Structure 1
């Protein structure tokens, strides 16, 4: 670092602490922490090191810190560094700035990984903020089951969220995905990614505005924004069916008979439009002579072992579905990044 730092900066924590918000971006947390203590963000940044004093806009991108600034932020927030890294994904080592960077923070035009998604305002209010808070997530949407709200990477001030009270299928779909995530552990993410790819290949509800159920919402918000919402129920069912096979395969319990029967059963359940992509996925996931049941435990095996056996890498916390699928088709149903700026 060319400029000499004042090592006294950031040693004493701020007077008021801030409650964590699950999935929050570093940029959102920093701006909320400053507001909580009635400080301008620029003033707090001066206690974290040296860097550009540009307007902070956490709704557009993520904030990345140097190792030095990360330590100072933990001091200011009054939490152990390990706790900060657990709560804020952007503070983990994989997202730190290079050691030879001239500044202690940066706000690049695009987040290096993940999507900036608006947090549920009711959840944010319960944690002491009335201004919008922002999450950094691997998918461009978030379902708040507690308050039945759908948020996404929209920056709409007129419609910052979609009320799910009258859309129980979406609620059930997210609950189904949550249960699968707990059961499959790391494998849940690549199974979900494959289900996304199969869904897109089948052209399922690509134009939700043409259906009676989704036309009013698509007219109000636009088809691109409504599409993943409309597709989530089918996506969760696909994920469940892929998971049935994958759990047994990775546990070493999938027999030849069960393997053969799965394709016909899944095709009947989802329809003929899904047969081709389901068949391709099925052919790439045959029974294993010896599974890796350790994958479902608290300490998964090394990534090299997982990749050799399954063909998938262990996903990082913000890995996009399009980077995880073993199928050659499109990414997420909502394929446009920064769509609603």
Structure 2
């Protein structure tokens, strides 16, 4: 075990750094070093001992408990605040006690996706260099500036301008309203199930189901893989809203069996007959709760598969890990260095 200098990292750096919401630890450390006109290697030498740093767009940085304390001192905030701001510094992501190194940069992030931050949001926090987020899903919608960023790592086309895709903005606003109504965790489970249903019916495999001309233009500009989730995002939100109507009433004990069947017929007509089978499968795991007391139907069933699967949800659990349905595929998983 290398002996560490107990005086290193005791005093905060002269210049503080404003946090970016959802920022990765690697991005924050890189920006903190640049803010204080230091090479990142020199800053890390005040944190502990470990391997050479890696560019933050490639993977996430994970630290030991010792290094987290030193990094908090350098940044001028408490360990609690730093862990709140940087999700990868929370206890569940810390390196095991007794590790020889104080940080590591694994080939793949242990959880979540590295997504480029909106450059205008980063500029408002005092940085002009690219900044990177660690998020549950491989995309991010900035409603403030109308931009879609993803984990492509492209510096030539770092974002997709959503002024040309107003449906994506409306879809994100819809999902935000859903999260306020149901709570973030429950809304995420419903979104995950909606994505799984779309996988089952083949919607995610056929981008032409979106506006064909819009899809073709976007795919020609940024590539099919990056364009695919943008073209399909509106349907994910609409289906999640449909499913949330039933789930909200079920959880409140206000859903009868008759209403459940009526919902299935109505959504089947609106979205297409092909949706009926996977939605029937979904409803089978979301039966009315025992305490429901509506006229025309007695409540039966216990906790849904969604509730069971969602217990103890990790902060960076992706949609594909949250769904209670068997059909799983994300529209975009560009997690290789060359993309």
Q: Distance in 1 between matches of 2:267 and 2:48?
A: 56
1:208–1:215 contact (8 Å) kept in structure 2: no
List aligned pairs for 1:160-175, cutoff 5 A: 160-175=158-173
Q: Aligned residue pairs: how many? A: 326
Aligned partner of residue 312 in structure 1, secondary structure: helix
1:132-281 → structure 2 map (5 Å cutoff)? 132-185=130-183, 186-204=185-203, 206-208=205-207, 211-281=212-282
Change (3 A) 1:244 1:340: farther
Where do 5+ consecutive residues of structure 1 fail to align?
A: 292-304
Change (3 A) 1:277 1:335: farther
Tell me which of 301, 304, 311 is aligned to 2:308.
311
Do structure 1's residue 72 and structure 2's residue 73 form an aligned pair?
no
Cα offset, 1:340, TM superposition: 5.8
1:18 equivalent in structure 2: 17
Q: Give the whole-Å Cα distance in 1 for the aligned partners of 2:246 and 2:123.
A: 41
1:308 Cα deviation from its structure 2 partner: 8.0
Deviations 1:58-97 (A, max 9, x none): 0011000000000111110001111111111011101101
- Rounded to whole Å, the distance in 2 between the matches of 1:308 and 1:281 is 9
Residues 207 and 309 (structure 1), Cα distance of their counterparts in 2 relative to 1, 3 Å cut? closer
Q: Give SS of 1:173's match.
A: helix
Aligned counterpart for 2:121 among listed residues 105, 123, 127: 123
Task: Name structure 2 gaps, 5 residues minimum.
Answer: 293-301
Looking at structure 1, the residues matched to 278 and 244 of structure 2 have their Cα atoms a distance apart, in angstroms, of 16
Instruction: Say which SS state the counterpart of residue 327 (structure 2) adopts.
Output: coil
Instruction: Please name the residue that 2:57 is paired with.
Output: 59
TM-score by length of 1: 0.91
What is the CA-CA distance between 1:219 and the residue it aligns to?
1.5
* Distance in structure 2 (CA, Å) of the matches to 1:309 and 1:167: 31
